[in-house]
Amino acid sequence: MPQGVGEDSALGFQLVREDFLTFGQVANAEITELWQYWERKRATHRLPSRDDIDPYDLKGQLGRLHILDVKGPSIFRYRLYGSRVTNPGRRDMTGQTTMAYADQEFAEMVTRHLRKAVDTGQPACFDIEAKLYGQLYAYTRAAFPLATDHVTVDKLLVGTQRKSIPTEIER
């Protein structure tokens, strides 16, 4: 494993680009499927609730999904952290906030992406390309707002799909 890998060290995440995607721009089949599922579940409401989401419906993607509680304007706590999702420190973030990542550039990017979904009340999808350990780290992240009352965002359903990741963080 490269030098600097560990929960408490700077991990060298360097963002190259982050492109916001509309539904029609999403090239990943799993993210498209998740977006369509979210649309079906919201039905006639502004937003679906967490109770509208059935994990059985998403069984093929469960390891690539997170559920987060919205605790404040930029405070997001992982209620569930997907077992197959990668991050620079290889940490299970369940119970932690997005700002608890060891690499603060990565933490700020994740928080910014989730904040967009909360602020707009709409899905926020990003195509991300970065360097990690000098290697390409590319994936798509989509955050889908959820609301217990179908109006006020209080949770997020987040799906991530890899394009290319360093072998050191493979899960």
pLDDT of amino acid 21: 94
Yes or no: say if 107 and 101 are a contact pair by the CB < 8 Å rule.
Answer: yes
pLDDT of amino acid 97: 95
Could you read off the pLDDT of 27-58 as tens digits, one per residue? 899 999 999 999 999 999 999 999 999 988 98
All structural domains of the chain: 22-169 (3.30.450.20)
DSSP state of 35: H
Instruction: Enumerate residue ranges in the chain where pLDDT < 50.
Output: 1-10
In this structure, what is the dihedral angle of CA atoms 32, 36, 38, 43, given to the nearest 10 degrees? 170
Give the list of residues 6+ apart from residue 154 with CB closer than 8 angstroms, or none.
69, 70, 146, 147, 148
